[in-house]
């Protein structure tokens, strides 16, 4: 499971399992990545639930 994050400055991909981890980063600063990771942590269960609904089985 993973999420893609897009913004005006760049983009990133984070793995959701087995733990939240940066997979790829294109032009985002360390500060931006930390903020994104905090948002992912706050909504981790929601992302996993949405993934399972979108990709059943």
Q: What is the pLDDT of residues 8-26, one digit of tens each?
A: 999 999 999 999 999 999 9
Number of domains in the chain: 1
Please choose, from the candidates 53, 54, 29, 49, the residue with its C-alpha nearest in 3D space to the C-alpha of residue 5.
Answer: 29
Hey, what are 33's tokens?
């990545």
Query: With 90 as the cut, is the pLDDT of residue 7 above it?
Result: yes
**What is the pLDDT, as a whole number, of residue 57?**
84
Task: Give the tens place of pLDDT for each residue, 34-57.
Answer: 999 999 999 999 999 999 999 998
Cα atoms in the Cβ-side hemisphere of radius 13 Å centred on 15: 6
Chain-wide mean pLDDT for the chain?
97
**What is the pLDDT, as a whole number, of residue 22?**
98
Angle at 8 between CA 27 and CA 17, to 5 degrees: 65
Specify the pTM. 0.94
End-to-end, the C-alpha distance of the chain in Å comes to 13
Q: Which range marks the domain in which residue 33 is found?
A: 2-54
**What is the pLDDT, as a whole number, of residue 37?**
98
């Amino acid at each position: 499971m993973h999420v893609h994050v897009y913004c005006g400055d760049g983009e990133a991909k984070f793995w959701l399992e087995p733990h939240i981890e940066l997979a790829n980063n294109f032009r985002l600063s360390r500060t931006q990545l930390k903020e994104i990771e905090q948002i992912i942590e706050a909504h981790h269960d929601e992302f996993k639930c949405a993934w399972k609904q979108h990709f059943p089985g």
